Structure 1
């Protein structure tokens, strides 16, 4: 009977993490994966400039920044299953509006709406449920699987979307009429909306009522119960939380910077629309392997150490692109740089929330800490879109891309300094047993 119970528990835990992985990525398909993979096409179909698209991202970022703080305590109080399922359903309905190819004003409203659905109702419950799943002994594995799995979902669906888009486009992509391009792109939007709706149903059915409370009682992975909740004021006074927030800011600048790779390939290396979209999906395929590997290595060598290494590689790769050394035909060098830089950025996504264990954040304050760290850490949603648009529109061609990747290099340097401070602080606490 005990063996059957363990087997049942293992199956339930597997279903839980798979569901969190699928939901955790599909909720961002419409606002982020769509423009990342199809940025040149999106700009043309919606008749937007890079700066205007950046403004839409900024609207999302402002709403999200305001939503992170109340969203954290909300996740500590209400059922994750209900919050996440409703958020996914609402997000998918927004996709149906986007499918009508609305005006720029409506696009901005949609991005503000998605800021509420994906952040206020979804983000903190996702992180809290993942931390509870991993426990104190396997934080790296939990968040590595989450982000690596999310990357696998994004890459698989992204590749499918590119194939769908290619199917509805003429054989000679460059000869496509505006109407053909628009109809093909609408099919991609519909696909993303349908998958997001499916994820809402999956969360409601697969997580079940037991997951609403979290399963923190497992003896083999239980959190340190000697850490009582500190409350909002107590968490605000924790220096490790603020250092973690700085790391997230810098890592997220790198993540947002990957939005430029498909356009870079199109404008600098002369790739066509389908080829540049494939470049975007290649970057996404790196994510599952990088995040999972970083999580597993972090549980062995330390989260802070792996974070520092990832920031160093991210900085070097960004500096190489900023140097302007690529020309059409230099594909091998370009792809090697893209793969290493993307691996470092996606490794960071599998690491930076695992830092909570080393930072000694009580489990009961997870939602609050997520709200604070995310509210600060995801501010690039506010400024990176307009900044990217301004640089690319102000200095068309390669020079604008060089300036943009110089910004990424600076972010990597700042993040590396913050992660080193976090490591020293966590190391001292371990030595004195705090």
Structure 2
């Protein structure tokens, strides 16, 4: 992000990482953090079934899948500062539409729009800028700081949003009218929209202008990078790991609803459970990043997938009837920690996988096209299971599917580690 002959000062590096952290989470507040924390309320306000909301998420995923691939080469060609600022502004504009409580059709279109704003112009530039920040020596730290910091921002803002929501609701939440619930939800949407807009301003003024490309890059370069990246087995294995980890991440969307429907928590308590899960993200991602730079990204990825699989299996067996809250919280916290650790690791795998830095954007695009397919199928899958088998049984089936995904990712991560070990021994 700065010229090679002008190394950034520690203060400049700190400001750059802070900006990447804030922007990297703010862009996803409206499409993801809001439904994760306030899913029961969102379903009530919009009068949706789980399947209908899942279809909206799926439309986001379809657009995102289309956008990941061209977004990768764009990140290698154009300024991260400009691409990210425009993406944040457009995403914030969508928040104004959400606050108007659109119809189901409008909500679907909005999620499709967010699929373009958050991915085509934002995702690959964010990853490329983060890899540049960490360099060859500190890839785990860079991505651990990014996702851990993003988690801290999400948890802090999420907690603030829950407090605002609780303040606007009656003392006895169960007596809230539809109008009161809708008004409180709208204020939370406005809060997230304002933060997203502020992040756009921060990116524009805080990210350095040095190193921004001034000449178009020839078309041959991104095409050549795509060919090179597609030939790398480590990239394909990394993509499988991302799929598994992202299934786990999307699966955490079910935590608040599980607490509400199975453990009989009220709406505010359920939102607090979702927020508590989010608070594990900064701790887990930063710790995983620091440990990965010392012991290896692949090793930490294997351990995290193992923990994710065990935790999902525990939730799948239905061991948490009402009254066993402490056991549930312990399992939920440990499983969330493993899932969030993976988010701080899976793009750091590019360094151990020996992806050339100049091909970073293309590699991100290819890995993301495969790795984030859960954006397409996880919403409908969750909706089908929870609507077809209401109550605890549907949740058990859902968490069992997470355990299967974790096992597949574990096998891929072991294969990745073996390749890296052969390279290091050669």
TM-score normalized by the length of structure 2? 0.96
Asked whether 1:148 is paired with 2:162, we answer no
SS for the counterpart of 1:209 is coil
Partner residue, 2:348 = 354
Give the counterpart of 2:330 among 333, 336, 347: 336
Partner residue, 1:223 = none
Structure 1 unaligned blocks of 5 or more: 214-227
CA distance in structure 2 between the aligned counterparts of 1:19 and 1:249, rounded to whole angstroms:
27
Residues 147-296 of structure 1: matches in 2 within 5 Å? Answer: 147-210=147-210, 212=212, 231-296=225-290
Partner residue, 1:54 = 54
TM-score normalized by the length of structure 1? 0.94
CA distance in structure 2 between the aligned counterparts of 1:230 and 1:305, rounded to whole angstroms:
31
CA distance in structure 2 between the aligned counterparts of 1:40 and 1:273, rounded to whole angstroms:
7
Give CA-to-partner distance per residue, 1:23-82, whole Å, 9 cap, x none. 000000000000000000000000000000000000000000010000000000000000
CA distance in structure 1 between the aligned counterparts of 2:70 and 2:98, rounded to whole angstroms:
27
CA distance in structure 1 between the aligned counterparts of 2:286 and 2:319, rounded to whole angstroms:
31
Partner residue, 1:137 = 137
Give CA-to-partner distance per residue, 1:155-183, whole Å, 9 cap, x none. 00000000010111011100000000000
CA contact (8 A) 1:165 1:188 kept: yes
SS for the counterpart of 1:360 is coil
Partner residue, 1:107 = 107
Residue 229 of structure 1 and its aligned partner are, at CA, apart by 10
SS for the counterpart of 1:210 is coil
- Rate the CA distance shift 1:363–1:333 in 2: closer, same or farther, 3 A: same
Residues 403-422 of structure 1: matches in 2 within 5 Å? Answer: 403-422=397-416
CA contact (8 A) 1:229 1:365 kept: no
Residue 212 of structure 1 and its aligned partner are, at CA, apart by 3.7
Counting matched residue pairs gives 415
Give the counterpart of 1:345 among 318, 321, 339: 339
Residue 208 of structure 1 and its aligned partner are, at CA, apart by 2.5
SS for the counterpart of 2:9 is helix
Asked whether 1:322 is paired with 2:316, we answer yes
Structure 2 unaligned blocks of 5 or more: 214-221
CA distance in structure 1 between the aligned counterparts of 2:212 and 2:17, rounded to whole angstroms:
14
CA distance in structure 2 between the aligned counterparts of 1:258 and 1:81, rounded to whole angstroms:
31
CA contact (8 A) 1:229 1:362 kept: no
CA distance in structure 2 between the aligned counterparts of 1:343 and 1:261, rounded to whole angstroms:
14
SS for the counterpart of 1:101 is coil
Q: Which runs of 4+ in 1 moved over 6 A?
A: 5-8
Give CA-to-partner distance per residue, 1:257-287, whole Å, 9 cap, x none. 0000000000000000000000000000000
SS for the counterpart of 2:320 is coil
Residues 36-55 of structure 1: matches in 2 within 5 Å? Answer: 36-55=36-55
CA distance in structure 2 between the aligned counterparts of 1:84 and 1:90, rounded to whole angstroms:
10
Give CA-to-partner distance per residue, 1:118-157, whole Å, 9 cap, x none. 0000000000000000000000000000000000000000
CA distance in structure 2 between the aligned counterparts of 1:176 and 1:211, rounded to whole angstroms:
54
Partner residue, 1:216 = none
CA distance in structure 2 between the aligned counterparts of 1:304 and 1:99, rounded to whole angstroms:
42
Give the counterpart of 2:294 among 297, 300, 305: 300
CA distance in structure 2 between the aligned counterparts of 1:430 and 1:233, rounded to whole angstroms:
25
- Rate the CA distance shift 1:8–1:310 in 2: closer, same or farther, 3 A: closer
CA RMSD, Structure 1 to Structure 2 (Å) = 1.5
CA contact (8 A) 1:229 1:363 kept: no
- Rate the CA distance shift 1:229–1:69 in 2: closer, same or farther, 3 A: closer
CA distance in structure 1 between the aligned counterparts of 2:211 and 2:17, rounded to whole angstroms:
11
